Amino acid sequence: MIPASVSDYRTLAQRRLPKFLFEYIDGGAFSESTLRRNESDFEHYRLRQRILRNVDNVDTSTEILGQHVALPLVLAPVGIAGLNARRGEVQAVKAAHGAGVPFCLSTVSACSVEEVAASAPSDFWFQLYMIRDRGFLDAMLERAWAAGCRTLIFTVDMPVPATRYRDIRSGLSGGTALRRKLARASQAMLKPRWAWDVGLWGRPHNLGNIAPILGENAGIDEFWRWMAENFDPRVTWDDMAVIREKWQGKLVIKGILDADDAMAARDTGADGIVISNHGGRQLDGASSSIAALPAISAAVAGDLDILLDSGVRTGVDIVRALALGASGVMIGRPWVYGLAARGERGVADIIDIFAKEMRVAMALTGQQGVAGLTRDILLEE
């Protein structure tokens, strides 16, 4: 197959990855109803086609959090993404830099923040959870700053981990430790290309940022146990105020679906928010992100930057999100599909697909620049 779309790269990723890794990327919580609505709800917003507008020089560039970007798109933090290709997060940050868009590293990445910084041509963003172990949290803030990160994405929609049935069935998190290990080993044997590229030559297979706590030889099972024990359900807005005081750079709060919470984020001193339901991986039955965007934009537009993730699959989706008030979007699954399929080249291809689709959508709605992407270009059903 010659891949032409995000869905094509999804197919290639499924062919290449062991089942437990693909299902982890692709799946959602419980019945996955929110996962499905994240994509389908974009279709409620049709574009208003306009003609004869001189769109010879369509410009997709803009600013997000004061940073010039070639495209209003950020590679979102994705846990254990680096296991999908050899030292995967390093490859991804290079592709993002080449395309002129930001990359955000997950706390639970395969590559440490220091390893990514050593290979990153420019600064990148860092994502963190509220962890019970405040010593670890403070240390990660210091490590991220020392690595050159100046934008912190703080994820707040995981006070408790959700149940993801696909992960249980695949052996990633279900059954006994022995059954999980046997399931993962047998699946890896069925994917020799991945086993060679990542399984053999992609070592170490630990989680770089957490390795100092878990130990260099800790694997996925130790990671799940640590995360289950360290998510903090007691976290409140007071805790976020403390983070705001400690972090000197830009602070973005990720996991907002309600206008009242968006206003609380603004009042806490956040520079931006991410409207997100964690890609449908947490509260099944929650609103899709695109459905939540209009009310949140009405409440806080102009006060802080609004990013949107969960369900963005095309450049047309970016145009819709910006028309409804977003400053930009974050993509998670799409860039990991590209990484799994073709490494750095695949990530670059995914970004280019979004860029080309966005330019076509802008041209056919009569807009030369991002500033023209307002609600006037939409026909709502």
Active-site residues, by number, are 278
Helix H, strand E, coil C: the string for 239-253 is HHHHHHHHCCCEEEE
Print burial letters for 4-34: b (CB count within 10 Å at least 16), e (below 16). Answer: eebebbbebbbebbbbbbbbbbbbbbbebeb
CA distance 24 to 38: 17
For residue 275, which phi and psi values (nearest 5 degrees)?
A: -75, 115
204: preceding bond cis by omega (within 30 degrees)? yes
CB 115 within 8 A of CB 208: yes
CA distance 260 to 300: 10
- What's at 368, amino acid-wise? Q
3-class state of residue 66 by DSSP: coil
Question: Other C-beta atoms within 10 Å of 235: how many?
Answer: 17
Assigned token pair, 12: 């290639």
N-to-C CA span, the chain = 35
CA distance 6 to 320: 17
